[in-house]
Amino acid sequence: MGILLENNPNLTELAERYKKFDANREARQAYEDRVKYLRDQANLLYTAEVEGRAKGMEEGQRQAQLDIARRLKASGLSVTAIAQATGLPVEEVL
């Protein structure tokens, strides 16, 4: 690795900065805490998005069932048949 550092001033500078950073345990701990915090925040946002999408899908599916039930009821189909076709309870079809 010494040859790489000798031939590349950018790598030499980077290695020196890393040595200083590594020597300062407080700075390293603060950095690791910040990285953990950012990962936790990203995970919270992802989880909220997934849960929000799932809830939206459920609400949309339920709305579709109710819309279908209304149309079937308007066409004169029996409440029992509508409940069977849509999966809705008879009480909700009424």
Per residue in 40-74, pLDDT (tens digit) is 999 999 999 999 999 999 999 999 999 999 999 99
Q: What is the pLDDT of residue 24?
A: 78
Mean pLDDT, residues 17-33 taken together = 81
Residue 25 pLDDT > 70: yes
**Which parts of 75-94 fold into alpha helices (H)?**
79-86, 90-93
- Is the per-residue pLDDT at 13 higher than 60? yes
Res 9: pLDDT: 77
Higher pLDDT, 2 or 92: 92
Sequence letter at residue 58: E
C-alpha to C-alpha distance for 5 and 74, rounded to whole angstroms: 81
